[in-house]
Amino acid sequence: MPLYAAYGSNMHPEQMLQRAPHSPVAGTGWLNGWRLTFGGADIGWEGALATLVEDPDSKVFVVLYDMTREDEENLDRWEGSELGFHKKIRCRVHRLSSDTDSTDPVLAWLYVVDAWEGGIPSARYLGVMAEAAEIAGAPEAYVRDLRTRPSSNVGPGTQL
């Protein structure tokens, strides 16, 4: 099965149970040479969306899923791929081995926002991402970085 690498709110197991119920977690890992950022504030419901940009000095924590074709199609709809909000790319993920601290590179696909970098995510969205990273076993410093990023209180139904 193809591997999907989630780095945003799709790291959260409850969310993925709704969006891709037949695709189990296949481990965690690091996407080296990429930086977590936010973009597409004009297309998100409540602010900027998580995305990635290449950065040789950075790495991003990911949760890997063994993705069925049916769940991939469902996830594409959730992510707005057919609307052009996200694009799929393939990257090498250094999967964390369950029995050692070493990494095992694997090829996985992921979504990136098809918009300019910039914008502020909502506090709720960052909270979901931080909780998901914590559940998945991300290092404490990584979770803390998510929790302390600048955010807005903009949410669905909020009037500006």
What are the residue numbers of the active site?
Answer: 79
| Single-letter amino acid, residue 109 | W
For residues 21, 85, 155 and 147, what is the CA-based torsion angle, rounded to 10 degrees?
70
Main-chain dihedrals φ then ψ at residue 64, nearest 5 degrees: -95, 140
* Range list of H helices, 35-160: 69-79, 123-136, 140-147
65 among annotated binding-site residues: no
142 among annotated binding-site residues: no
Which residues contact residue 38 at a Cβ distance below 8 angstroms, ignoring those fewer than 6 apart?
47, 48, 49, 50, 51, 117, 118, 119, 120, 121
Eight-state DSSP code of residue 97: P
Closest CA to 52 of 66, 70, 33, 67: 33
d(C-alpha 119, C-alpha 126), whole Å: 13
9 among annotated binding-site residues: yes
7 among annotated binding-site residues: yes
Q: Which residue ranges are tagged as binding site for substrate? A: 4-9, 125
